């Protein structure tokens, strides 16, 4: 019997499209019914899915770990950072991350589904009115300001990363290139070159370091121009010519944009970051405040219910995708290991697992000490067997059980674990009914 968080935990394999295999429905971890493909990129795909228990629509972002590794350590670091950031940001205009699931080869983000699609698709059909442009800009600034107050800088704001829900409310997504305050260098600036060319701030092009909040404001200015004009303020087939225009902030507003909007745009697209308008100044600007309704309850409390009442009890997302075995939570009970660390996934409550392991260990004459939280220490006679057990939540339904043993525990000591304790813990292992593996050879990156 195997732990069932591996890629063989079910018997239905999606086709190359990653959705269906004949008439079979693909079920992810016994919880999400996978639907149509919403989008893809270099390293991931995004699918529509339905929570079987609640009927709620969600978006499942599927990241192929193999391709991340091939792409270099920085890509894996970006995924870790994205998880950490999205769990930190609970705001009505930011796409919510419900949970992160993982197998040996694949990482899954279960996220809020934005039924209205990308804002880019809407503006591509024609420019917005001044009032509608302002409304979406107000929502954007509400989200971006919240990010900055939590030490997060998006660094890739553009209409393609702005989604609309079923009420046509704006949702910021894709924090894969985001930075946090801890990444700021000793000079108080960020130095990583990133972003989308048409939306990048001049100081990034200067390669002398930049303020994350200032570059986000610049990108917001480009977005407002696109919403109001229907095209980009800086655009040229020759990338260097376009960069020259950005560096000098050379743009011209069309005649249908009001003088107040033009004035405001010039404050946003100021090439000097020192004099560029700030988020606080934006909120006080007369143009911005027209029809503006203060966000008094911007934190969505349901987020904490979905992720967990006690964050400490939940498996840290950084740990989740940093396991030395490559998210290998598999095989604890399919063969004897001589390594010092083993893991399996269980659907039982942590207290039940602790109680069962204590019962089994004592039945074999092994002493048990219960640790604070969800853990215990096992110790055999004369200290010839020592093992520490720690239990952390993976999501609301699953926990990861990690057993650490001394590498020197061999011979009779090793048999205490492999032959006597392990076999009696088989019933704790989570088993799924279907297989899902949407990490195919073509990969694709969404989100």
- The verdict on 309 and 352 lying in the same domain is no
Measured distance CA(327)–CA(319) in Å, rounded: 9
Residues 166/127, Cβ–Cβ less than 8 Å: no
Rounded to an integer, the average pLDDT of 4-27 is 44
- Most confident range, picked from 14-28, 51-65, 373-387: 51-65
Beta carbons within 8 Å of 105's beta carbon, 6+ residues apart? 7, 64, 65, 66, 327, 437, 439
Q: Mean pLDDT of all residues in the chain?
A: 79
DSSP H or E run through 405? strand 399-405
User: Which has the higher per-residue pLDDT, 382 or 102?
Assistant: 102
- The verdict on 126 and 99 lying in the same domain is no
Of 117, 181, 116, the closest CA to residue 147 belongs to: 181
In-domain check, residue 145: yes
CATH number at residue 416: 3.30.310.80
Residues composing the chain: 447
Burial of 127 (0-12, 13-18, 19+ CB in 10 A): middle
- What proportion of the chain, given as a percentage, has pLDDT over 90? 43
For residue 228, is pLDDT > 50? yes
- The verdict on 137 and 86 lying in the same domain is no
In-domain check, residue 245: yes
| Angle formed at CA 143 by CA 142 and CA 147, multiple of 5 degrees | 120
- The verdict on 164 and 276 lying in the same domain is yes
In-domain check, residue 371: yes
DSSP H or E run through 78? helix 73-88
- The verdict on 146 and 244 lying in the same domain is yes
**DSSP result, 12-49:** ----TTSSEETTEEPEETTTEEEEEEEEE-SSEEEEEE
In-domain check, residue 321: no
For residue 436, is pLDDT > 50? no
| Cα atoms in the Cβ-side hemisphere of radius 13 Å centred on 297 | 3
**What pLDDT, on the 0 to 100 scale, is given for residue 5?**
33
For residue 352, is pLDDT > 70? yes
**What pLDDT, on the 0 to 100 scale, is given for residue 415?**
76
Confidence grade of residue 350 (pLDDT, cut at 50, 70, 90):
confident
For residue 181, is pLDDT > 80? yes
- The verdict on 134 and 65 lying in the same domain is no
**What pLDDT, on the 0 to 100 scale, is given for residue 46?**
93
Rounded to an integer, the average pLDDT of 209-233 is 97
**What pLDDT, on the 0 to 100 scale, is given for residue 119?**
94
For residue 22, is pLDDT > 70? no
Rounded to an integer, the average pLDDT of 419-424 is 86
Rounded to an integer, the average pLDDT of 110-125 is 93
Beta carbons within 8 Å of 203's beta carbon, 6+ residues apart? 209, 210, 211, 214, 215, 273
CATH number at residue 309: 3.30.200.20
Residues 227/137, Cβ–Cβ less than 8 Å: yes
Of the residues 6, 7, 131, 156, which is catalytic?
Answer: 156
pTM confidence score: 0.68
For residue 15, is pLDDT > 60? no
**What pLDDT, on the 0 to 100 scale, is given for residue 420?**
85
How many Cβ atoms from other residues are within 10 Å of residue 111's Cβ? 22
- Most confident range, picked from 1-5, 250-254, 443-447: 250-254
**What pLDDT, on the 0 to 100 scale, is given for residue 74?**
65
What is the extent of the structural domain holding 127? Answer: 117-289
In-domain check, residue 35: yes
For residue 311, is pLDDT > 50? no
- The verdict on 122 and 207 lying in the same domain is yes
For residue 438, is pLDDT > 50? no
Annotation marks residue 270 as catalytic: no
Beta carbons within 8 Å of 230's beta carbon, 6+ residues apart? 123, 126, 127
DSSP H or E run through 401? strand 399-405
Confidence grade of residue 406 (pLDDT, cut at 50, 70, 90):
low
**In total, how many domains does the chain have?**
3
- The verdict on 134 and 262 lying in the same domain is yes
In-domain check, residue 327: no
- The verdict on 274 and 388 lying in the same domain is no
In-domain check, residue 444: no
Rounded to an integer, the average pLDDT of 310-338 is 41
Q: Where are the beta strands (DSSP E) in 87-222?
A: 97-102, 106-112, 117-118, 152-153, 162-164, 170-172, 179-180
In-domain check, residue 374: yes
- Measured CA distances, 76 to 7, 165, 212, 329, 443 (Å): 20, 29, 21, 18, 15
- The verdict on 383 and 263 lying in the same domain is no
Local structure of residue 419 (DSSP, 8 states): I
- The verdict on 78 and 130 lying in the same domain is no
The three-state secondary structure class of 152 is: strand
- What proportion of the chain, given as a percentage, has pLDDT over 70? 76
CATH number at residue 196: 1.10.510.10
- The verdict on 122 and 108 lying in the same domain is no
Mind spelling out the 3-state secondary structure of 291-328? Answer: CCCCCCCCCCCHHHHHHCCCHHHECCHHHHCCCCCCCC
Q: Which phi and psi (to 5°) does residue 36 adopt?
A: -75, 155
DSSP H or E run through 379? strand 375-379
């Amino acid at each position: 019997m195997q732990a069932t968080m591996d890629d063989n935990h079910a018997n239905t394999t999606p086709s190359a499209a990653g959705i269906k295999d004949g008439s079979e429905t693909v079920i992810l971890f016994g919880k999400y019914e996978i639907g149509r493909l919403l989008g893809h990129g270099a390293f991931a795909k995004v699918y529509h899915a339905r929570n079987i228990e609640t009927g709620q629509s969600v978006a499942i972002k599927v990241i192929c770990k193999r391709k991340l590794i091939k792409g270099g350590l920085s890509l894996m670091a970006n995924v870790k950072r994205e998880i950490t950031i999205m769990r930190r940001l609970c705001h009505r205009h930011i796409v919510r991350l419900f949970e992160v699931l993982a197998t040996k080869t694949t990482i899954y983000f279960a996220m809020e589904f934005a039924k209205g699609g990308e804002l880019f698709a809407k503006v591509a059909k024609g420019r917005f009115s001044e009032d509608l442009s302002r409304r979406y800009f107000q929502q954007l600034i509400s989200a971006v300001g919240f990010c900055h107050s939590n030490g997060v800088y998006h660094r890739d704001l553009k209409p393609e990363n702005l989604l609309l829900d079923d009420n046509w409310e704006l949702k910021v997504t894709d924090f894969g290139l985001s930075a946090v305050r801890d990444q700021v260098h000793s000079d108080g600036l960020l130095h990583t070159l990133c972003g989308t060319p048409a939306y990048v701030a001049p100081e990034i092009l200067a390669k002398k370091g930049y303020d994350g909040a200032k570059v986000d404001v610049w990108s917001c200015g480009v977005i407002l121009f696109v919403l109001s004009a229907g095209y980009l303020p800086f655009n040229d087939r020759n990338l260097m010519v376009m960069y020259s225009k950005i560096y000098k902030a050379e743009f011209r507003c069309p005649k249908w944009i009001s003088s107040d909007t033009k004035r405001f745009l010039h404050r946003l697209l100021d090439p000097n970051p020192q004099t560029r308008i700030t988020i606080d100044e934006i909120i006080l600007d007369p143009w911005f405040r027209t029809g503006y309704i203060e966000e008094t309850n911007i934190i969505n409390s349901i987020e904490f219910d979905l992720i967990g009442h006690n964050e400490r009890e939940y498996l840290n997302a950084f740990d989740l995708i940093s396991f030395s075995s490559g998210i290998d939570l598999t095989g604890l009970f399919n063969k004897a290991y001589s390594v010092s660390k083993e893991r399996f996934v269980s659907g039982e409550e942590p207290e039940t697992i602790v109680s069962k392991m204590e019962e089994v260990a004592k039945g074999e004459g092994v002493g048990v000490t219960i640790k604070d939280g969800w853990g215990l220490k096992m110790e055999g006679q004369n200290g010839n067997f020592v093992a520490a057990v720690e239990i952390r939540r993976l999501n609301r339904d699953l926990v990861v059980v990690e057993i650490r043993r001394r590498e020197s525990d061999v011979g009779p000591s090793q048999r205490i674990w492999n032959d006597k304790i392990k076999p009696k813990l088989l019933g704790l292992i989570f088993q799924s009914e279907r297989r899902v593996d949407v990490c195919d050879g073509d990969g694709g990156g969404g989100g």
